[in-house]
Amino acid sequence: MNEKFVNMVIDKSEGSRFLVSDKSIDTINLSNLSSDRQTSIARINIKDEVTTVCLYQNGKSKGTISLNIGVDQVKIDSNSNTITYLNNDIRDLARLYNINLQEGEITDVDKIRGLCKILADIMITTIHLNDYSWGFSKMVINGGKSFEEDFSPNIIIFTGIASKYIFADKQEDAFIDGNLGMLLYQEINNYNI
């Protein structure tokens, strides 16, 4: 999979976004696809404080990796743009990339967007669609490696909190919900391999 995620199919009833590469399809029936021996699937479930990445191939699970990435790991007061909470691992990760964040500081969209680009890259690194990133080993929970064999999924599915932001109209106030959610999903949508 050498190209950008080129075709998108959205199933609003499931609250998931399907990013599809290399072929165009109109609808996706996940239960049928998971048993299709020609289809490999990566499901990225982003929650408040953790992201799980599950791989499926030949109709079977190939394993799960948990990442210390969640939309509530940086909380921002939407009125003042002040950081009210900052997860220590996220702060340390940002510093690896020369982004300094501190609780109590007034931040801006560009600074948080830079962090979200890094987080999106780590998610993609996990499923071997990109070169190893500095931050991966810092954010993986209970282990220091990604999946043991290379895995290039035909379909990448984002679930969990993703649906709230992916299906919402773009809002001018990036911190309206007081977390990383909106900017993180914008960076996922804009991701380029």
pLDDT tens per residue, range 35-83: 555 677 888 888 888 998 888 877 777 888 899 999 999 999 999 999 9
- Would the pLDDT of 162 be above 90? no
* Number of domains forming the structure of the chain: 1
176 within a domain of the structure (yes/no): yes
> Could you give the CA distance from residue 193 to residue 187 in angstroms, rounded to a whole number?
12
- Would the pLDDT of 123 be above 50? yes
Domain that holds residue 26: 7-189
| Least confident segment among 18-27, 100-109, 134-143 | 18-27
- Would the pLDDT of 26 be above 60? no
If pLDDT is split at 50, 70 and 90, which confidence band does 2 have? very low
Distances (CA, A) of 101 to 91, 115, 140, 192: 6, 10, 21, 25
52 within a domain of the structure (yes/no): yes
Q: Are 156 and 127 in contact (CB under 8 A)?
A: yes
Distances (CA, A) of 172 to 18, 33, 83, 120, 161: 25, 37, 18, 21, 19
Residue 23, pLDDT score: 44
Q: Is the C-alpha dihedral spanning 119, 121, 125, 127 positive or negative?
A: positive
2 within a domain of the structure (yes/no): no
pTM, two decimals, is 0.81
Residue 22, pLDDT score: 47
1 within a domain of the structure (yes/no): no
Q: Are 46 and 66 in contact (CB under 8 A)?
A: no
Residue 6, pLDDT score: 43
> Could you give the CA distance from residue 186 to residue 153 in angstroms, rounded to a whole number?
21
If pLDDT is split at 50, 70 and 90, which confidence band does 192 have? low
77 within a domain of the structure (yes/no): yes
Element (H, E) at 84: strand 82-86
